[in-house]
């Protein structure tokens, strides 16, 4: 009888614990899916590995999705929603249109997760884990991703246009955009280091390489190479791609910062951190040039901090069954 009571008591406690984990009211937790979907992170990692093996560029694209999600009303998976009759989503906002990609990879991962653990793993959490795994696969640091986000019920093209700083921003705009989200100048410089992998379309930097007076902060030979890459006579090939890091484009390292010192930052918002930034941003660039490990340590901290921007938890939002659309019945 005593043994039976002990077993009942343990099972009751486990039931309460699992219920609490499924509906957290407090901070996000690294072991959120321990009981509800123990293979969640393994399934996500396998999906990222397949995608990056097929196309190395995808690592940078998946990392960028998490950034662009968190910068618009928090890390809630809203960037993944397609337009509906009731709202215009974020995919066609100016900073995202013809730019963010990787949605099919998220779809495939979500399909696997729904098969293994129906209705348990949010799209917002998938984005957070995918970002970490993309960094690791390209040689960067790993960190514990805090989990338990739920998915938004809407998205806003207008908010995306207002919240994501364009690549033509000046330093004060960049600093203010990050400050609005509780991120510091250190976070700005550190998270910009994500541009050590990935590519950008000529359309995002053509304004600084063309015309009578190109951007004077660009190193001369690099400027010439970009002009040749992006133009055909007097016509700009907007869709042509250039590596964000010309030296080690598929490796997550600190080379990005060395590029800035030599005038080889691709985007205006990259180069100005060193050439037209504040004393703080310039000093941090110099610091990370000398210490890759210091960059890695702070990058992990800044990613966790960014991932905690206004997550939906508890009964807010839902767990979408398809990341592109809200559920028919929002009682997840």
* Separation of CA 59 from chain center: 10
Angle, CA 184 vertex, CA 181 and CA 187 arms, to 5°: 95
Question: What confidence tens digit (pLDDT) does each residue in 103-143 have?
Answer: 999 999 999 999 999 999 999 999 999 999 999 999 999 99
Q: Supply the pLDDT for residue 22.
A: 40
Indicate the SS3 state at residue 149: coil
Contact call for residues 125 and 82 (beta carbons, < 8 A)? no
**Res 328: pLDDT:** 85
Is 68 labeled as catalytic in the residue annotation?
Answer: yes
Tokens of 275: 């050439």
CA 282 to chain centre: 24
Using alpha carbons, list the distances in angstroms from residue 91 to 65, 94, 96, 229. Answer: 10, 9, 6, 27
Crossing angle for the helix pair 58-70 and 292-307, nearest 10 degrees?
Answer: 50
- pTM for this prediction: 0.90
Q: Are 3 and 11 in contact (CB under 8 A)?
A: no
Q: Which of 66, 68, 195, 329 is catalytic?
A: 68
Question: What does the block give as tokens for 61?
Answer: 């694209």
The alpha carbon dihedral of 165, 167, 171, 172 has a sign of: negative
Q: Taking 50 as the threshold, does the pLDDT of residue 14 lie above it? A: no
- 145-187 pLDDT, tens digit each: 999 999 999 999 999 999 999 999 999 999 999 999 999 999 9
Residue-wise pLDDT for 246-292, tens only, equals: 999 999 999 999 999 999 999 999 999 999 999 999 999 999 999 99
Q: Tell me the pLDDT band of 69, cut-offs 50, 70 and 90.
A: very high
Reduce the DSSP state of residue 305 to 3 states and report it: helix
How far is Cα 309 from Cα 69, in angstroms, rounded to an integer? 10
């Amino acid at each position: 009888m005593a043994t039976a009571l002990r077993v009942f008591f343990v099972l009751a406690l486990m039931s309460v614990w699992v219920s609490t984990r499924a509906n957290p009211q407090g901070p996000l937790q690294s072991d959120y899916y321990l009981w509800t979907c123990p293979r969640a992170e393994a399934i996500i990692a396998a999906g990222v590995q397949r995608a990056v093996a097929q196309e190395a560029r995808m690592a940078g694209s998946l990392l960028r999705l998490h950034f662009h999600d968190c910068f618009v009303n928090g890390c809630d998976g809203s960037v993944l929603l397609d337009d509906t009759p009731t709202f215009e989503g974020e995919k066609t906002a100016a900073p995202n249109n013809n730019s963010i990609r990787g949605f099919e990879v998220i779809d495939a991962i979500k399909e696997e997760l729904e098969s293994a653990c129906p209705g348990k793993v949010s799209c917002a959490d998938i984005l957070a884990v995918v970002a970490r795994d993309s960094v690791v696969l390209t040689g960067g640091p790993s960190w514990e991703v805090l989990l338990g986000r739920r998915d938004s019920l809407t998205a806003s093209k207008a908010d995306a246009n207002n919240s994501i700083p364009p690549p033509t921003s000046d330093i004060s705009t960049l600093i203010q955009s990050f400050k609005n989200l509780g991120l510091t100048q250190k976070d700005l410089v550190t998270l910009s280091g994500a541009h050590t992998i990935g590519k950008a379309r000529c359309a995002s930097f053509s304004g600084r390489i063309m015309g009578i007076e190109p951007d004077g902060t660009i190193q001369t030979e690099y400027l010439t190479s970009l002009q040749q890459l992006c133009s055909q006579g007097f016509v700009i090939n907007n869709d042509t791609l250039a590596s964000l890091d010309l030296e080690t484009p598929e490796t997550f390292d600190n080379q990005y910062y060395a590029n800035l010192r030599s005038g080889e930052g691709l985007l205006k918002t990259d180069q100005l951190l060193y050439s037209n930034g504040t004393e703080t941003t310039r000093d941090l660039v110099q610091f990370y040039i000398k210490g890759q490990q210091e960059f890695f340590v702070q990058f992990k901290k800044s990613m966790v901090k960014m991932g905690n921007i206004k997550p939906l938890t508890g009964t807010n939002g839902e767990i979408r069954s398809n990341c592109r659309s809200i559920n028919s019945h929002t009682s997840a």
